[in-house]
Amino acid sequence: ITAESITVGGKTYKTDSFTNVTPTVLEKTTRQLHLIPTHPIAIIKDLIYSAFPDFKHYETFSPVVTTKENFDDLCFSDDHPGRAVTDTYYVNEKIMLRTHTSAHQLKVMTEADKVLVTADVYRRDEIDASHYPVFHQMEGAQLFDAKTAVDDIRKSIAADTSAVSGSIHTTDTTVITPENPKQDCHDEAAMLATADHLKYSLNMMVRKLFSHEKDLQVRWIDAQFPFTSPSWEMEILYQGKWLEVLGCGVIRQDILINAGKSDKIGWAFGLGLERLALVLFGIPDIRLFWSQDERFLRQFEPSKIQKFKQFSKYPPCIKDISFWSNDDFHENNFCEIVRDIAGDIVEDVQLIDEFTHPKTKKRSVCYRINYRSMDRNVTNAEINELQEKLREEVVQRMKVELR
């Protein structure tokens, strides 16, 4: 870029040696996918909103922020790698495109104790089916009075009547380690209650999103963020793979003090909306979210998760497999084998039939596998070969009996 100035959102900024925003990325700042009610990103957003009933929503903040808002206010060190020009889009040395919705944490926490911020965020990254330089995040935070947090949280969890169907299996005992420490300023009981409330709230939220899964597996992994301590990542077992869904933790007290909330303790989380939309809608490629093709946009309705119907010109190749399952059988294990064998060519695996034999009580299942390449025609012969291999592996690894 050689121009002396750049205009984004009606405002003009001076350029300098840091400037690395490109016209293509700046074009994206006007799209606002999360504000189109029938767009999968907005549908997921609305579902998450419904899991946090009386939270205040913010969703129209400009993507242009200061490095202070995106980094310094959040306790990023001066040499934090996230600041690198290779990772971040700079308008100039002091002005950038936000890399996360946390850039607005401080501001919104001065205004309310229960907040949700949704926005487009920008990161320089490789481009493939699951990476794109622009994506959408939602930030959530809740603050409690530090003195009464333990009691308030116990009561609020006990009073929660939101009906959630299906079971959830989660590792949610908080263990504090030197690598993932409590902040010195925090009372241990208040911090543990806050962490409990955080994990409880997020478990309820994903249970709502994945309501079609009978048994949802969630795990909490220790993590590190400059602006929370202790910190975790939540992962969900989905079709045989652990999917990283969000980062979260107990908010650094310095940030609360700067927000004028020194008598509070609180949690925050940040999640990627594309990640969730990809799996919940079965969208095969992150680039589709930006499609202006009517065949994409017309498919969806507000507040409804429905499977995306492929309109690629490359035809699918559909194969069914039936077998007698056994007590150890888990769909996730089956999916993992399919993925091992077919890799990126598998688009979808669905249980299309099941029944229990009246005499033997054995359960029979039939899965339909949709093989399709995003970029070429697959041949029936090549898919037959994969399917044959799958039939062998399923017997060998899961000890089931083919029908």
Residue 245 is a binding residue for ligand PHE (CB under 6 A): no
Residue 105 vs 387, nearer CB to ligand PHE: 105
Give residue 96's region: left, alpha or beta (phi > 0; psi -120 to 50).
beta
Q: Which of these ranges, 38-46, 265-273, 274-282, 389-397, lies near ligand PHE under the rule CB under 6 A?
A: 265-273
In the bound complex, what is the minimum distance in angstroms from residue 244's beta carbon to ligand PHE? Answer: 10
Interface with ligand PHE (CB under 6 A), residue total: 12
CB of 75 to ligand PHE, least distance (A): 12
CB nearer ligand PHE, residue 74 or residue 342: 74
Nearest to 64 by CA among 119, 136, 5: 119
In sign, the C-alpha dihedral spanning 46, 129, 82, 269 is: positive
Query: Given candidates 67, 102, 170, 201, which one binds ligand PHE under the rule CB under 6 A?
Result: 102
Sole binder of ligand PHE in the list 45, 100, 124, 207 (CB under 6 A): 100
Among 108, 190, 205, 268, binds ligand PHE (CB under 6 A): 268
Examine residue 191 and tell whether it contacts ligand PHE (CB under 6 A): no
Q: Residue 11 corresponds to which tokens in the numbers above?
A: 């405002």
- Examine residue 180 and tell whether it contacts ligand PHE (CB under 6 A): no
Region near ligand PHE per CB under 6 A, out of 4-12, 247-255, 274-282, 391-399 = 247-255
Residue 283's SS3 state is coil
Interaction between residue 230 and ligand PHE (CB under 6 A): no
Instruction: Report the 10 Å Cβ neighbour count for 266.
Output: 27
Q: Is residue 91 within 8 Å of 4, Cβ to Cβ?
A: no
- In this complex, which beta carbon is closest to ligand PHE, that of residue 61 or of residue 269? 269
Question: To the nearest whole angstrom, how small is the minimum distance from the Cβ of residue 180 to ligand PHE?
Answer: 12
Which of 161, 162, 168, 267 has its CA nearest to residue 210? 168
Instruction: Say if strands 167-171 and 215-225 run parallel, antiparallel, or are unpaired.
Output: parallel
Residue 114's CB is within 10 A of a number of other CB atoms, namely 16
Residue 247 in contact with ligand PHE, rule: CB under 6 A = yes
106-145: which residues touch ligand PHE (CB under 6 A)?
139
- Pair 90, 96: CB distance under 8 Å: yes
Q: Is 269 in the site for ligand PHE (CB under 6 A)?
A: yes
Of 113, 117, 151, nearest to 256 by C-alpha is 113
Burial of 74 per CB tally in 10 Å (0-12, 13-18, 19+): buried
> Minimal CB distance to ligand PHE: which residue?
270
Nearest to 246 by CA among 231, 230, 262: 231
* Contact by Cβ (8 Å): 219, 232: no
Residue 248 as a binder of ligand PHE (CB under 6 A): the answer is yes
Nearer to ligand PHE, 244 or 336 (CB): 244
At closest approach, how far in Å is the CB of 165 from ligand PHE? 28
**φ, ψ for residue 224, nearest 5 deg:** -140, 125
Report the interface residues with ligand PHE, using CB under 6 A: 100, 102, 139, 225, 228, 231, 247-249, 268-270
